[in-house]
Amino acid sequence: MARHTVCSESELPVGEMRTVRAGDTKIIVYHLEDGFYATQASCTHIFAPLGKGKIVETCQVQCPFHRARFDIRTGEVVEWANFPPGVQLLNAVRGEKALRTFPVTLAGGEVHVEVD
């Protein structure tokens, strides 16, 4: 795994997220009340950009397209795609899949993410 500096701690206030590159990998870095986290940048439903989504319930990211929600800390599905009505037909083909998460460390005021 390679360690990449993605931003400084002060650049990302609590409750915000940012899409960044860690080497060749596009990820999202989140600053929650209990620390920094990183996940893949696209939803596992139909690969929509999670960076256009929002943080809900203080520790979940919601996809902007079909409102799938994931736990930012673990990547686990909290609620699978449920909007608009009828999207459940697509869900029969696109089963629930967690987000990939990446280890985050802080050093010298900078946020580092490890990706392979």
User: What are the pLDDT digits (tens) for 29-65?
Assistant: 999 999 999 999 999 988 999 999 999 999 999 999 8
Please indicate whether residue 76 or residue 92 has the higher confidence score (pLDDT): 76
Share of the chain above pLDDT 90, in %: 78
Say what the pLDDT of residue 93 is: 67
What's the mean pLDDT when you consider all of the chain? 92
Interior CA angle at 39 toward 110 and 57, to 5°? 100
Region 78-107 average pLDDT: 83
Residue type, 38: A
Order of all β-strands in the sheet with 104-107 = 2-8, 110-115, 104-107
pLDDT category, 89, cuts 50, 70, 90? Answer: low
Sign for the pseudo-dihedral over CA of 10, 24, 97, 66: positive
Residue ranges and CATH numbers for the domains of the chain are 2-115 (2.102.10.10)
Region 19-32 average pLDDT: 97
